[in-house]
């Protein structure tokens, strides 16, 4: 049994704790939050046997094998350093860091310590993306030529997301990291993104953030393919997550926002879906949300590879590459021109 400790107490920490319930060879044995009251609430919700007073205390416990970093972006570097120093395996939520340089620091830390690491990019593990990937890999739509992906909702659910100076960016960093990695997953990780062109603006939430709440990025791949990435914090009606793949012999579409349950209700019924903006009227709940978004499948994959001592599908190196591509996108937003992507050596 792999013994897991979770750092954090927000939505993503809840998602990981829920996902662990689907992992037969792992168990949540402890948790930490920077807010003690939230830590206690988290422990109650997920039956965490022990709540720790600090990251150091949790990571120093020999009863914990694997540490999950589910903290805000600015806390990832310090948390990774503490966990690596304690010799723990580490799973870190997306994005790995605020910048490519900071992500490279995190990668250097785990490599120097010789600890196992996994980058928690859930989108590539979601059932619909996995099925589409199988079909593309089998040649169903011929040679993959372009991908268009959109992730959108009406804005973050926690205050730290709105602080662009602390978090590292706005909607593109928060959501584009998902769709950028989807593009790498489909076009091939050895097929590098060479140039990017990006636009970003604050269209609605200027009173909340200095970061962009809307963004579009074009990614050119070395093989000649193109990915179009759209990220938005201004779209009401719940989570929108759509991929469109065009090949030489067909096309595929995935849309997580199209749910098997929808309707018009007059009375609230409780939680419906992440980022839902209303609890009556036309509603589109997502059944088994943790599984629909790939959290359960991701956690099973990570635990199995940790137990076997093998590298998972997504490692901190992938997180570094995504952050590096995002850095180029932000340079393009400022310059208004195509920018080359320069990867760390």
d(CA 58, CA 320) in angstroms, rounded, equals 26
Sheet harboring 339-340: ordered strands across?
Answer: 250-255, 240-247, 144-152, 226-232, 214-221, 193-201, 339-340
Q: Averaged over 49-53, what is the pLDDT?
A: 98
- pLDDT score, position 286: 87
**Of 136, 133, 132, 87, the residue nearest 109 (C-alpha):** 87
- pLDDT score, position 252: 98
At residue 258, φ and ψ (nearest 5 deg) are -85, 105
- pLDDT score, position 258: 79
d(CA 73, CA 93) in angstroms, rounded, equals 9
pLDDT, one tens digit per residue, over 140-182 is: 999 999 999 999 999 998 899 999 999 999 999 999 999 999 9
pLDDT, one tens digit per residue, over 250-295 is: 999 999 877 888 899 899 999 888 878 889 998 888 888 899 999 9
pLDDT, one tens digit per residue, over 181-196 is: 999 999 999 999 999 9
DSSP three-state, residue 47: coil
d(CA 78, CA 49) in angstroms, rounded, equals 25
The number of C-alpha atoms within 13 Å of 95 and in the hemisphere containing its C-beta is 34
pLDDT, one tens digit per residue, over 99-111 is: 999 999 999 999 9
- pLDDT score, position 285: 87
- pLDDT score, position 282: 86
Please provide the DSSP assignment of 155-199 as one string: --SSHHHH-HHHHS-SHIIIIIHHHHHHHHHHH-TTS-EEEEEEE
Give whole-number Cα distances, 45 to 2, 17, 35, 229, in Å.
20, 9, 15, 36
Complete domains list, the chain, with CATH: 2-122+296-314 (3.40.50.720), 124-292+324-340 (3.30.360.10)
Flag the least confident range among 38-52, 235-249, 300-314, 321-335. Answer: 235-249
The pTM of this model reads: 0.96
- Stated as kind and residue range, the H or E segment containing 245 is strand 240-247
At residue 127, φ and ψ (nearest 5 deg) are -55, -40
Average pLDDT over the chain, rounded to an integer: 96
Q: Averaged over 331-336, what is the pLDDT?
A: 98
User: Residue 335: CB partners within 8 Å, gap ≥ 6?
Assistant: none
pLDDT, one tens digit per residue, over 202-212 is: 999 999 998 99
Unique residue bearing structure tokens 């040679």:
143
Ranges assigned E (strand) in 44-106: 66-69, 89-93
d(CA 252, CA 181) in angstroms, rounded, equals 18
The number of C-alpha atoms within 13 Å of 71 and in the hemisphere containing its C-beta is 25
């Amino acid at each position: 049994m792999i013994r897991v400790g979770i750092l954090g107490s927000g939505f993503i920490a809840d998602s990981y704790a829920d996902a662990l319930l689907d992992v037969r060879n792992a168990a949540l044995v402890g948790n930490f939050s920077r807010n003690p009251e939230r830590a206690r609430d988290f422990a109650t919700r997920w039956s965490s046997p022990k709540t720790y007073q600090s990251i150091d205390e949790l990571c120093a416990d020999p009863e914990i094998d694997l540490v999950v970093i589910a903290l805000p972006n600015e806390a990832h570097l310090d948390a990774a350093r503490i966990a690596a120093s304690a010799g723990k395996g580490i799973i870190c939520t997306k994005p790995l860091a605020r910048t490519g340089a900071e992500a490279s620091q995190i990668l250097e830390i785990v490599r120097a310590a010789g600890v196992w690491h996994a980058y928690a990019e859930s989108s590539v593990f979601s059932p619909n993306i996995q099925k589409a990937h199988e079909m593309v890999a089998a040649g169903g739509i011929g040679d993959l030529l372009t991908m268009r992906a959109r992730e959108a909702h009406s804005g973050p659910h926690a205050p730290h997301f709105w602080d662009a100076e602390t978090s590292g960016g706005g909607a593109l960093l928060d959501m584009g990291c998902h769709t950028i990695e989807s593009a790498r997953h489909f076009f091939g990780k050895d097929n590098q993104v060479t140039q990017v062109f990006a636009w970003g603006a604050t269209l609605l939430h200027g009173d909340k953030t200095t970061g962009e709440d809307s963004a579009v990025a074009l990614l050119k791949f070395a093989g000649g393919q193109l990915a179009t990435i759209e990220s938005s914090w201004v779209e009401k009606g719940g989570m929108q997550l759509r991929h469109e793949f065009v090949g030489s012999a067909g096309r595929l579409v995935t849309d997580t926002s199209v749910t098997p349950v929808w309707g018009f209700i007059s009375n609230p019924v409780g939680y419906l879906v992440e980022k839902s903006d209303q609890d009556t009227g036309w509603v589109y709940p997502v059944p088994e949300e943790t599984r629909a978004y790939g959290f359960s499948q991701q956690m099973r994959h990570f635990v199995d590879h940790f137990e076997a001592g093998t590298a998972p599908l997504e490692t901190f190196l992938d997180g570094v590459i995504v952050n590096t591509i995002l850095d180029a996108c932000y340079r393009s937003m400022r310059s208004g021109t195509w920018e080359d992507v320069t990867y760390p050596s």
